[in-house]
Amino acid sequence: MSATTPVAWLQLIHRKARLLVTITGVTFAVMLMFIQLGFRDGLFEDAVTFHKKLQADLVLLHRDTELFFEMKEFPRRYLYNISAVDGIASVNPFYLSMANFKNPKTFVKTPIVICAFTPDKPVFKIPEINQQTEAIKAANTVLFDRLSRPEFGPIVENLEKHGEVITEVSNHQTRIGGLFSLGGGVMSANGAIITSDLNFSEIVNHPLEKVHMGVIQLQPGVDPQSIIKKVSKDLPRDVKLMTLEDFMQLEKDTVAQSTPIGFIFNMGTVIGCAFGGIIVYQILYTQISDSLVIYATFKAIGYANSYMVKVVLQQAFLMSLIGYIPGFALCIYIYSFVQDATRLPMFMTITRGVMVMVLTIVMCSIAGMLAMSKLRSADPAELFG
């Protein structure tokens, strides 16, 4: 027999129905792993939706702040203390609170996030917001996130039709003077409005001297860690200075530790992997049992056990590939569908694609090794005696 004869492939396609079951089982396992990991990472990314839109190199926070929507306030004067440090281009105050937004159609009040900053010192890297800073200088005027959930009412439609919408925010008559797109929702906010610091103070009755975050931009070429090292020793004990990336990671770590999200979806990935392994094991074990005479013949004519082991592992590897490819393709569509339906940032990444491929190969290889217990019993003496 030629060394190049694709024995593993020929055995795999010998029974088409069994091959179809194999493809279906592995594909389902691959999809389950992709979906679980996609939801897990999507929820973590959703938690930092607002962070990613901030125009900041560093952020100044209260020492006890771990989550964006639970930021604790601290004196605004702390921002002035570090604004003169060499290497810092700007230090801007940022305010955040929850407010009750009245649906102008149903009059139902729903909690909404309200963010604020000094209009002349924008803190978001969203062009729509920065182009409408003059609008939010007007009294009791806000911008509305067009990606907010529909329970806030037909704001976008009414604004496009009439040019403005009048409603109430925390029992204050408020004018919606423009739109922007930010998004989020599952782990961040169902809706958001943005206004000036003065309007924020009036609407939620919050003193401007108390800020929730300092948004810091550095001069080009300045190392953030050098600024942190220089400034931190002189900071009051009740605040902390960190990079925006570190704040995002803190948010993800806090969500992972304080909620069962990570455990639930990691367990789902393990279950999907185990499910696929069981399917592959059953297919390979049955196939070896049906071909036991063939394997015994190989042994009788001089083939070593290592050759048979190689054939089985090749089958396992081929099973992983033919199941992974359709699973990968289907999950790209599923990610897009889920993202459109829930606004979760679910998208395929190279890291996740490689991870699931490796898990699939390992899953099938382990199943193949377990199925080899039947192969070891292929004794030519018993079969031909």
The string of DSSP letters for 130-195 reads: HTTTTGGGSTTEEEEETTS-GGG-SHHHHHHHHS-EEEEETTEEEEEEEEE-----SSS-S-EEEE
| pLDDT of res. 263 | 86
Q: Please enumerate in sequence order all residues whose Cβ is within 8 A of that of 100, keeping only pairs 6 or more positions apart, or say none.
A: 109, 110, 111, 112, 168, 169, 170, 171
| pLDDT of res. 157 | 92
Taking Cα atoms as reference points, which of 61, 64, 121 lies closest to residue 91? 121
Q: Please enumerate in sequence order all residues whose Cβ is within 8 A of that of 118, keeping only pairs 6 or more positions apart, or say none.
A: 92, 93, 196, 197
| pLDDT of res. 377 | 59
pLDDT 10s digits, 17-72: 888 888 888 999 999 999 999 998 888 888 898 999 999 999 999 999 999 999 99
Helix (H, G, I), strand (E, B), or coil: what is residue 60?
strand
| pLDDT of res. 3 | 47
CA distances from 383 to 68, 255, 301 (A): 70, 60, 14
| pLDDT of res. 375 | 66
- Residues lower than pLDDT 70 in the chain: 1-5, 185-188, 374-385
Contact 58, 319 (CB under 8 A): no
| pLDDT of res. 160 | 87
CA 44 from chain centre, in angstroms, equals 5
- Residue 147 main-chain phi, psi, to 5 deg: -95, 10
Q: Where are the beta strands (DSSP E) in the chain?
A: 58-62, 74-75, 88-102, 109-117, 141-145, 165-169, 172-180, 192-196, 210-211, 213-218, 239-243
The DSSP element (H or E) to which 50 belongs, if any, is helix 49-52
| pLDDT of res. 1 | 43
| pLDDT of res. 194 | 96
CA distances from 36 to 214, 229, 273 (A): 36, 40, 11
In this prediction the pTM is 0.79
Q: Which two tokens stand for residue 194?
A: 């943005």
% of residues, the chain, pLDDT over 90? 54
Domain ranges of the chain: 7-46+260-384, 64-237
**Other C-beta atoms lying within 10 Å of the C-beta of residue 288:** 25
| pLDDT of res. 240 | 95
